Amino acid sequence: MPRLEPRASPSRAMALVSPLLALALTALLAALLFAALGKDPGRGLEVFFVEPLAGARQLTELLLKATPLVVIALGLAVCYRASIWNIGAEGQFLLGAVGAGGVALWLTSHGIVLPRAASVPLVLAAGAVGGMAWAAIVALLRERLNANEILVSLMLVYVAQQVLNWLVFGPWKDPQGFNFPQTRTFHASTWLPPLLGGSRLNIGLLVALGAVALVWLFLFRSYRGFQLQVGGLAPAAARYAGFSSRGAIWSALMISGGLAGLAGAIEIAGPLRQLTPHVSTGLGFTAIIVVFVGRLHPLGIVFAGVLLAMMLIGGELGQSRLGLPNAISGVFQGLLLVLLLACDTLIHYRVRLRAAPARG
């Protein structure tokens, strides 16, 4: 009978193979699910994993979808490496969208037309500040009252959604919007400049790649990043070395909240160009899966962000072309995470086959 036997040291090979194995198992289970729903498994897998890569337009849409996922996940990676479990990036994303949208709307409603070189950084900075302000609530309650950051950050997601709803149904509602809960379309000077003509892909992608480089430098080439990671791996050693746990909490959550808010600004100043109640489709929660599939490493997060974006687009295509249910994309994301955690067991354990004992 098979049994798990502890390894003498973690397997580096399995650490690399585990995400690929989890993806293969996810595809296998997806095919079985398609068959159970009465759909052609081959066609279903094609819609999810081939069509998002089938042409230049599809690739630009894939990168557009992956951009906010990567930016949010970078901030979460900083938190998780410090063992600070920020689950509320969705709320910080929404408050970033609110902050950026507020600045863009103010410029639009007052007829202030600045050069894009001035207005776009202003909008992005407002988004980052909005996300940081929302994360500061979590940091303050954790530091002063020792409140659990998982529960606080998660509950603040629903508060953030209600703040957004109140604004777009109330004071920021477009008076000429036929009673739809949405703001006015922002002035073109506040939009992110496109990267490619004829596509929606914008310089948000360059911002995301710049954030990847900066987070890598922070985590692996800075003393502050070293402090955060030591505090996460060995709290007792960090205290002995004199590293401040208070500073770690505030640094990690401010970086995470700022990047989530920046992603919100990229989303509303890029493809959306206005605020609605549906600014996010759960990107902050999807980014949690991106972090773990990407092994909490900035470069891994880039590939994982593209993979999860492919699943999101595949879910949309599956609804329109195959009549699949709306929840199918979330099911596959959950499967990928669960299977990844299961496959990660093989990093620290190996499977041994043991002969069944003879019966007397």
pLDDT digits (tens, 9 = 90+) for 146-185: 999 999 999 999 999 999 999 999 999 999 988 899 999 9
pLDDT single digits (tens) 49-108 = 899 998 899 999 999 999 999 999 999 999 999 999 999 999 999 999 999 999 999 999
- Which long-range contacts does 150-159 make (Cβ < 8 Å, 24+ apart)? 150/85, 150/87, 152/88, 153/85, 153/86, 153/87, 153/88, 153/89, 153/91, 154/87, 154/88, 155/88, 156/88, 156/91, 157/88, 157/90, 157/91, 157/94, 157/284, 158/91, 159/91
Check pLDDT > 60 for residue 358. no
Nearby residues of 63 by Cβ (< 8 Å), 6 or more positions away: 201, 205, 306, 309
Check pLDDT > 70 for residue 1. no
Q: What is the pLDDT of residue 243?
A: 76
Work out the angle at residue 134's Cα, subtended by the Cα atoms of residues 223 and 170, and round it to the nearest 5 degrees: 155
Q: What is the pLDDT of residue 355?
A: 59
Please name every residue paired with 353 in a beta bridge, in sequence order, or none if there are none.
2
Check pLDDT > 70 for residue 307. yes
Give the integer Cα–Cα distance in Å for 219 and 225: 4
Q: What is the DSSP string of 207-248?
A: HHHHHHHHHHHHHHH-HHHHHHHHHHH-HHHHHHTT--HHHH
Q: Which residue reads 């953030």 in tokens?
A: 160
Q: What is the DSSP string of 54-115?
A: SSHHHHHHHHHHHHHHHHHHHHHHHHHHTT-----HHHHHHHHHHHHHHHHHHHHHTT----
pTM: 0.94
Q: Which residue reads 């502890």 in tokens?
A: 6
